[in-house]
């Protein structure tokens, strides 16, 4: 998929869904608004909550752990209504597929590993 296709697919999948991402205890609510991602580090309303730590993300990226194993092993926690969790899961797969095809991803990943 090229970038406009990924954006359209994300928009269809997410709709107005807001996700609170909690990474290593720091929370931020993210959502897609028209043509841009929005973030609010405050305590605004969210449809779902996803809690994880940096090591889990690296284990997933490096293939040491599957998403299913991370969820079943409660290393990646997802809270919310089933339809919202399903929409988020679909959108996450679309996002990852688009991300791995972008030329800027390798430097982004290197920076993440160095944090």
Q: What is the pLDDT of residues 9-63, one digit of tens each?
A: 888 888 889 999 999 989 999 998 877 889 999 888 999 999 999 899 889 888 8
Predicted TM-score of the model (pTM): 0.82
The pLDDT tens digits of the residues spanning 61-101 come to: 888 998 889 989 999 999 999 999 999 888 888 888 877 78
Other residues' Cβ atoms within 10 Å of the Cβ of residue 78: 17
Cα 52 from chain centre: 11
Q: List the beta bridge partners of residue 32.
A: 37
CB 52 within 8 A of CB 77: yes
CATH 3.40.50.620 fits 3-110, yes or no: no
Cβ neighbors of 31 (< 8 A, separation 6 or more) are 14, 16, 17, 18, 19, 37, 38
Using alpha carbons, list the distances in angstroms from residue 52 to 27, 38, 77.
10, 20, 7
């Amino acid at each position: 998929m090229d970038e406009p296709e990924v954006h359209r697919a994300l928009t269809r999948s997410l709709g107005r869904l807001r996700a609170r991402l909690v990474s290593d205890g720091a929370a931020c609510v993210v959502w897609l608004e028209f043509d841009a991602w929005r973030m609010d580090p405050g305590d605004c309303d969210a449809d779902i909550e996803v809690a994880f730590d940096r090591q889990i993300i690296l284990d997933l990226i490096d293939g040491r752990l599957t998403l299913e194993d991370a969820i079943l092993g409660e290393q990646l926690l997802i809270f919310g209504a089933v339809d919202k969790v399903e929409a988020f899961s679909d959108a996450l797969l679309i996002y990852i597929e688009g991300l791995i095809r972008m030329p800027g991803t390798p430097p982004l990943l290197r920076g993440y590993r160095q944090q």
